[in-house]
Amino acid sequence: MVLEIDRLCFGYDKGKTLFNDFNLSIDKGEIAAIVGPSGSGKTSLIELIAGHIEPRSGMIYAARFSQIFQDPYTSFHPTYAIKNQIADVAPLDNALALCDQLSIDYALLDRKSHELSGGQLQRLSILRALLMKPELILADEPTSALDNLTQLEVMKLLVSLLDNAGILLITHDRDLAKWCADSITEIGE
């Protein structure tokens, strides 16, 4: 088990609960998708799993994880080269091969975030997450900044990693969830 959530209860205020007795488990080799509209708590769930916010009650166990953030511009510091930021959290040993798989020019790693497009930054965010060799990948709208062809290639790459990790996929895209997920949980409907 790389993620287990048992009877999670959470809400930002006493009057509204985003999660009430919420359960979810993911094994290595599985993709679980959380699908719902904006404001339904999808990103809050990732924040709970990452330990950035505390639940009211319930239990969350997460194995070693990495995150793919929805907004790539806020996930990189604007004044440091991307390569240095990635090297702070993961070795760059396999970076060249993964760059090829993600259709990233390796030279982009020497640039700063403001010198790159949203799609380039999102693929570099995915690169960083993969280089961390996680057991669990928390993917918050990982392909939202990518064109359709790159979306497909990136999702195929993520699916190919399932021998080594489980994936929690947060998405608005029900078709994407149906295509790749072993289980789909709809929230906020």
Q: What is the pLDDT of residue 24?
A: 97
Tell me the C-alpha distance between 43 and 48, whole Å.
Answer: 9
pLDDT (tens digit, 9 = 90+) per residue, 135-164?
A: 999 999 888 767 777 778 778 878 887 788
Number of domains in the chain: 1
Which has the closest alpha carbon to 141: 66, 65, 70?
A: 70
Quote the distance between the C-alpha of residue 90 and its chain's center: 16
Q: What is the mean pLDDT of residues 31-41?
A: 90
pLDDT (tens digit, 9 = 90+) per residue, 47-81?
A: 999 999 999 999 999 999 999 988 888 889 999 99
Prediction pTM value = 0.90
- Residue 176 DSSP code: H
Tell me the C-alpha distance between 130 and 146, whole Å.
Answer: 17
The parent domain of residue 126 ranges over 3-186
Q: What size, in residues, is the chain?
A: 189
Q: What is the pLDDT of residue 10?
A: 94
Check which CATH number belongs to the domain holding 161 and give it: 3.40.50.300
